[in-house]
Amino acid sequence: MAQAVILIPARYESSRFPGKPLTLIDGKPMIHRVYQNMEDSGLDVAVVTDNDKIEASLESIGTVYRIDDDVPSGSERIGLAVDRFLKDKYDFIVNVQGDEPLLRGEEVKKLLDFHLKNPQFDITTLGKVRQGEGINNPDIVKLVPTSSGECLYFSRSPIPFDRDKQGAEWYQHIGVYCYKTEALKRFLSFEPSVLENFEKLEQLRALENGLKLGVQLTDAELIGVDRPEDVSKVENFLRERK
């Protein structure tokens, strides 16, 4: 049976939102919410961080791997954790962003199951069908899939461009990646790519270097925390759901 681990990269410094992982959401640090949600998947879970405060806050919660290296992205940070702590213990490495406090572990387990059923993909990710509002927001990443679920492109721009104003459906990308362990190593062996540097989207490095990405669609209600003002949106959602 395939072995998988969820790794949650958590960096304290952020240009848009310093200290974001420890910000309180309805009284609980966001990184705690993400960790505990991921435990519901039944998979092994760990946080990968470079910060004393984040590490200390999780001592009574679960597993933390400390990676202090100055790296450009969460994928590089979890790659170092795999090399130094996990070696070849797992067949799949799932990168869950620490700013998705509404993402449930069951959705991540579904993503892993999708990957197991579609071994042609090196990496799989989550997407959500949307319409109208949000497509012009550069903080919301859009993706374009084929009919078979392979990802063609990701962008912060509105894609597809709705030339005739038909209100076309579009796909929101949810920042979760399930890597075959060997694919993660290959991905991290590549230099940052031209399109990646333009869009500031690391998944474009994978596409530019020929890795195949597949998307599993979800209808889960998700609110990513990119800026301080997003915290109240998540709290309002949680209160309405009670």
Place of tokens 């795999």: 82
Distances from the Cα of 228 to the Cα of 20, 173, 191, 224, angstroms: 8, 21, 32, 11
pLDDT for the residue numbered 44: 97
The helix (run of H) or strand (run of E) holding residue 199 is: helix 194-199
Beta carbons of 122 and 173 less than 8 angstroms apart: no
Residue 35 within a domain = yes
| Of 174, 170, 175, 137, residue with least CA distance to 156 | 137
Q: What pLDDT digit, counting tens, does each position of 57-70 carry?
A: 998 899 999 999 98
Work out whether the CA dihedral 41, 58, 81, 155 comes out positive or negative.
Answer: positive
Q: Which domain holds residue 86?
A: 4-227
Work out whether the CA dihedral 216, 231, 17, 64 comes out positive or negative.
Answer: negative
Residue 27 within a domain = yes
pTM comes to 0.93
Per-residue confidence in pLDDT tens, the chain, 242 aa: 579 999 999 988 776 788 899 999 999 999 999 999 999 999 999 999 999 999 999 988 999 999 999 888 889 999 999 999 998 899 999 999 999 999 999 999 999 999 999 999 999 999 999 988 889 999 899 999 999 999 999 999 999 888 887 777 999 999 899 999 999 999 999 999 999 999 999 999 999 999 999 999 999 989 989 889 999 999 999 998 87
Phi and psi angles of residue 92, each rounded to the nearest 5 degrees, phi first: -130, 140
Residue 30 within a domain = yes
**Cα atoms in the 13 Å half-sphere on the side-chain side of 201:** 24
| Of 9, 54, 51, 5, residue with least CA distance to 29 | 54
Q: What percent of the chain has pLDDT over 70?
A: 99
pLDDT for the residue numbered 227: 87
Nearest-angstrom CA–CA distance, 163 and 140 = 20
Q: What pLDDT digit, counting tens, does each position of 98-127 carry?
A: 999 999 999 999 999 999 999 999 999 999
Distances from the Cα of 237 to the Cα of 17, 52, 101, 241, angstroms: 21, 30, 11, 6
CATH of residue 44's domain is 3.90.550.10
Q: How many domains does the chain have?
A: 1
Residue 93 within a domain = yes
Residue 134 within a domain = yes
Residue 239 within a domain = no
